[in-house]
Amino acid sequence: MFLGKALKLCPNLMTVPYEFEEYEAASNFLYRILIEKTPYVEVVSCDEAFIDIKDLVSAQNELEIQEIIKSLRAHVFHTIGCTVSAGIGPNKLVARMATRSAKPNGQFLCLKMDDILKYIKKQPVTDLPSIGRSTANKLDSKGFKTCQDVLKMPKSEITSLLGQKSGENSLQLLSRYRLKRLYFESREEKHLC
């Protein structure tokens, strides 16, 4: 909600000013910690990133993966005082959705294909990246509330409901849960200032 609307609803609302410099410093510390662990860090925003730790584990040892992430989260907390929620998955879609299940200040692992499919099917369509309020409302109006509902939809029905491009994008997005790896668009090295 925007501040103006919040103030109209609650005229006595007290706000706390942003401290952009501190936020930026904490963000830079966070990314330095991640980069110390693995060079494969994709920054999504000032407090969100994808990291690829496959080079740090033997095969897909879930206990080892959990311990690495637990250690990273603890390191971030002890260094900058910020808690971290971590979703662990074989690709960006699963990792991002698993992060929602990890909040607040937890971690959620979903690596096995059978577990992934069960997990994805139960999630509300609103948990999918790029499914905004308008698209969610259209899907909801036809009784499609979960990802399983959308996965069962014939392509013609979803494109009719959402339009050709949005319908195909939604189906393509949902099909990404099958990807085995976390793919980075670019492995080009970037430096923090």
Catalytic residues: 48
| Three-state SS at 93 | helix
Q: Rounded distance, CA 62 to CA 39, Å?
A: 21
Sign of CA dihedral 48, 44, 50, 22: negative
Closest to 84 in 3D by CA, of 94, 92, 76, 96? 76
* β-strand partners of 86: 107
